[in-house]
Amino acid sequence: GAGVSQTPSNKVTEKGKYVELRCDPISGHTALYWYRQSLGQGPEFLIYFQGTGAADDSGLPNDRFFAVRPEGSVSTLKIQRTERGDSAVYLCASSWGAGGASGTDTQYFGPGTRLTVL
């Protein structure tokens, strides 16, 4: 079946502009995660949704970053007044959200959106 998809694949914007990044999770997955990967580093957690609600937004760097998932499926990460330091690959992942007997909840990642702020 279809995996996690993210649009756009690349986004170039100017400092101070507003951007929206979209994530379409795997159908039926209730959990959705956003991560940010800067050059030479591993992905860093930003925010986690369980259904429509943000269960954990402790990774958002500041109040310029905001994410929504109004119908419990597609999610949008919104960045206001972009700065050059926001340049990174933004990864979305989804999972069943159950954990359960396995003890973990395998996350399936999309290909990411490469954001470049000039």
Partner 1 sequence: DQQVKQNSPSLSVQEGRISILNCDYTNSMFDYFLWYKKYPAEGPTFLISISSIKDKNEDGRFTVFLNKSAKHLSLHIVPSQPGDSAVYFCAAHLYNDYKLSFGAGTTVTVRA
Residues that bind partner 1 (CB under 8 A): 4, 31, 33, 35, 40-45, 48, 56, 59, 91, 93, 95, 99, 103-112
- Identify whether 8 is preceded by a cis peptide bond (ω within 30 of 0): yes
Closest to 44 in 3D by CA, of 53, 55, 28, 33: 33
Taking the least distance from each CB to partner 1, the nearer of 59 and 72 is 59
State in angstroms the smallest separation of the CB of 81 from partner 1. 26
State in angstroms the smallest separation of the CB of 80 from partner 1. 23
